[in-house]
Structure 1
Amino acid sequence: MPRRRPRWVRAAVRALPSPGGTPFTFAYGVVLAGTSLFMECADPDTVAALLQASSTDVAHLVRSPVVALGASALWIAGGVTSPLVLAFLVVLSALERRTGGRTTAAVFLLGHVLATLATEIPVGLSVMAGHLPDTSLHRLDYGISFGVAASVGALAGLLTPWPRWLVLGAFTAMLVADLLTFTDPMTSWGHLLALGVGLTTWPLLRPLARAPRTARRGTPPG
C-alpha cells in the first residue's frame, strides 16, 4: 500500500493551481512563468526594451491604453524570485475555487486597471502643470502586483472572520511599511488603492461564493 503523504503536503498541493480545478490561474501562471524565464535568459537589452514597451506609463496609456494595460500584466517585477509569485498562486487559486475563473479574472483586471489609472493620471496632470519633468511620462511601470493586491482584498471577504482580519492586517501592514520607505510611493499608493478595490467587491462576490471543490465533493479535508 503506498505511503500516504503528510497532511501539510496535501494541503500545500491543494493550495496551488491545477488545470482542472483553477484553469484561469493555472494558464495565467504558465504565461507568467514563460515571461519570467525569458527575463532570466534573454539578452538584457532586449528584455529592457520589451519591458519599456509594456510599461503602463502615461505616454503608453495615452497612445494605446488597452495594449499597455494588457502587456504590463504579462510580467512579474522581480521575476520568479519575487514574493508575488507565491501570493499570485495561492491567492488567485483560492479565489478561483470560490468564485470561478471569470470572476477571478474580473477582480484581477479591475484592480490592475483602476490602480494603474489612479496612479498614472496624477502623474500626467502634474507634468502638464509643470510640477514634474517630461521624463515622468515614460517611467517604467509593469507587473501583476495591483491585480494581486485586489485579489487579496476580494478573497478576504470570503474567509471566516479570524483569517479575514489576519490576512487584511498582515497585508495592509506590509503595504504601509513599503509606503513609508518612500522607495516608490506612487506604486505603493497603487497597492493600497488596489486592495481597496478588492474590498469593494465583497457585496458582489459573497452571493457567488461557494465552498472549495474538495468540500463540495464531500472529500475529507486531509
Structure 2
Amino acid sequence: MTIFGGTRRGSGVVPSARAGGRRWLPVTVGYTAALALVSALWAGADPDIQLRTIADTSTNLDNLAHHRFGTLLTSAFVIADNGTALLAVPLLAGLLALSERRFGSRATVSVFLTGHVGATLLVAAGLWSGVRRGWFDADVCYAVDVGVSYGAMAVFGAVAAVVPAVWRAPWTVAWLAVALEGVVRGGDFTNVGHLLSYLLGSVAGLVLARNSPAARSPSWLDLQLLACGAFLASAFLPA
C-alpha cells in the first residue's frame, strides 16, 4: 500500500479507477454538485448570514487557535463570491474529472485534501510565527480564508502526469514560475498557499504516476480537461 490511494508498484492497476471512478466520476459529480448547491444558497442569503458563514468556516488563526478544526473541511465548500463561483465550479469539475480519470477517486480526494489542508496549515504556521514576531498585523488572525483554490492547485500540480513526457518538465517548471511570481507580486498569504499547494500536488502526482499503470498518450478529452485546469489555475494566480 502507498499513500495517495495508489497501489503496489508493478501491479498495473489503480483499484479506484478501475472500479467505477472512470465511469461516472463520483468525486467530481458529488463535490461540484455540493459546491453548486452551496453557491446557489449563498447567492440568495442575507448579507448577515453570508458574513456569519464566512466567520464560521474560515481557516484563519482565530478559528484554528480555538480548535475549530472543522473549518479545514467546511472552508472547501464556501466560495464567497458569486462571480468566482460561476467561473470556478465548472472549471474545477473539468480538473477533477481529469484527475479522477487518470488516478481514480480516492487518489483525487487525497491530493485535493493534501493541498487544501496541508497548505492551509503551513500558511497558518507561518502567519502565527510572523504575528508573534511582530512581522504581521494581528488583524491577519481574522482574515477571510475560504474557497477551493488550495485543493484545486494541488490537483493541478498532480495532473502534470497527463502532459506528454517531452513537455512535462517544462510545463511543471513554467507553472511553478507563475506561482512564484504570484508570491512576489501578490505579496499575501493566499499566494504563498497557492505555491505550497501546487508543490504538494506535484509531489503527490509523482508518487501516483510511479504507482499507476504505464502512461498512455493523453486523449483529446484529457487535453480539454487539462485546459480547464490551466484556465482555473490562471484565474487563481495573479496576472
TM band (smaller chain) = 0.7 to 0.9
1:121 to partner: Cα distance: 1.2
Q: For residues 170 and 91 of structure 2, what CA distance do their matches in structure 1 show?
A: 15
**Which residue in the other structure is 1:110 paired with?**
114
**Which residue in the other structure is 2:202 paired with?**
199
What letter is aligned with 1:145?
A: S
1:20 to partner: Cα distance: 4.5
CA RMSD after TM alignment: 2.7
- CA, structure 1 residues 65+170, in 2 after alignment: closer, same or farther (shift >3 Å)? farther
Contact 1:87 1:148 in 2 (8 A): no
Q: 1:100 aligns with which of 99, 104, 107?
A: 104
Q: For residues 50 and 207 of structure 1, what CA distance do their matches in structure 2 show?
A: 41
- What is the DSSP-based 3-state SS (H/G/I as helix, E as strand, rest coil) of the residue aligned with 1:66? coil
Q: 2:27 aligns with which of 24, 29, 40?
A: 24
Give ranges in structure 1 of 5+ residues lacking alignment: 1-17, 216-222
What letter is aligned with 2:24?
A: G
- CA, structure 1 residues 161+114, in 2 after alignment: closer, same or farther (shift >3 Å)? same
Q: 2:190 aligns with which of 187, 193, 214?
A: 187
Q: 1:71 aligns with which of 70, 74, 79?
A: 74
- CA, structure 1 residues 116+174, in 2 after alignment: closer, same or farther (shift >3 Å)? same
Higher RCO, Cα 8 Å, sep 6+: 2
What letter is aligned with 1:39?
A: W
Contact 2:158 2:204 in 1 (8 A): yes
- CA, structure 1 residues 111+175, in 2 after alignment: closer, same or farther (shift >3 Å)? same
Normalised TM-score (structure 2): 0.72
1:109 to partner: Cα distance: 0.1
Query: Which region of structure 1 is more displaced relative to structure 2, 50-59 or 62-71?
Result: 62-71
- CA, structure 1 residues 100+72, in 2 after alignment: closer, same or farther (shift >3 Å)? same
1:19 to partner: Cα distance: 9.7
Q: Does 1:148 align with 2:144?
A: no
1:21 to partner: Cα distance: 2.1
Contact 1:154 1:199 in 2 (8 A): yes
Contact 1:158 1:206 in 2 (8 A): no
Q: For residues 35 and 167 of structure 2, what CA distance do their matches in structure 1 show?
A: 28
Cα distance per residue 1:19-75 (max 9 Å; x no partner): 952101110001100111122111112111101210000111122353010111111
What letter is aligned with 1:47?
A: Q
**Which residue in the other structure is 1:53 paired with?**
56
- CA, structure 1 residues 22+129, in 2 after alignment: closer, same or farther (shift >3 Å)? same
- CA, structure 1 residues 65+111, in 2 after alignment: closer, same or farther (shift >3 Å)? farther
Normalised TM-score (structure 1): 0.77
Which of 1 and 2 has greater Rg?
1
Q: Does 1:90 align with 2:91?
A: no
Give ranges in structure 2 of 5+ residues lacking alignment: 1-20, 220-239
Contact 2:59 2:146 in 1 (8 A): yes
Contact 1:99 1:208 in 2 (8 A): no
- CA, structure 1 residues 162+68, in 2 after alignment: closer, same or farther (shift >3 Å)? same
Q: For residues 131 and 185 of structure 1, what CA distance do their matches in structure 2 show?
A: 13
Contact 1:36 1:80 in 2 (8 A): no
Contact 1:153 1:196 in 2 (8 A): yes
1:169 to partner: Cα distance: 5.3
What letter is aligned with 2:31?
A: Y
Alignment of structure 1 residues 29-44 onto 2, 5 Å: 29-44=32-47
